[in-house]
Amino acid sequence: MNNDFTFAIIKPNAVRTGKTGPILAMINEGGFEITAMRMVRLTKSQAESFYSIHQGKSFFEGLIDFMISGPVVVMILRHENAVADFRKLIGATDPGKAEPGTIRKIFAVSVQMNAVHGSDSSESAQIEANFFFSGIERFNT
C-alpha cells in the first residue's frame, strides 16, 4: 500500500480565472489521489507562516500579497513518490523554464502567479498538510 503524499495549493490567479477544474483534472489524470481538499482565503499571518522559509527575500512581500489576494484550494495528494512526481507534473517555478504540458507551463502567468504550489520534500509535505488539515479531515494520509 502506497502512503506517500504531498501537499498542494491551487493559487489565487488560477482559482480566480476558473482553472480549478482543469488543474484538478490534470492532477487526477496524473494518477494522484486527492485525500483532503478545501477552499480557503489565507490570512496575512497564515501566508507569512506558510512561506516563512522565504522571509527576507526580495519576492516575499509580493508573494504574500498575491497569496492573500483571493481564495486558494489546498489539498493532500497521495501517489507513489508523491513529492517528486508532483513537482514533475507542475514544472519549474519559472513558467518560462517549465516543460511543455506541465501545469505551470499551461496555467502560470508569471513566476509569482505560477498557478500551483507543491511541497519540496516529504518533511515539508508533512508540515504543510498539518498546517491546513486535522486528522479527521484526511482519508488515508
120 interacts with Mg ion by CB under 5 A = yes
Q: Are 2 and 80 in contact (CB under 8 A)?
A: yes
Site string for ligand UDP, 81-100 (x = CB under 6 A): ------------x-------
Catalytic residue chosen out of the listed positions 19, 79, 104, 117: 117
Site string for ligand UDP, 100-119 (x = CB under 6 A): -----------xx-x--x--
- Selected binder of ligand UDP within 4, 33, 85, 120 (CB under 6 A): 120
122 interacts with ligand UDP by CB under 6 A = no
Question: What residues are annotated to the active site?
Answer: 117
The residues binding ligand UDP (CB under 6 A) are: 54, 59, 62-63, 93, 111-112, 114, 117, 120
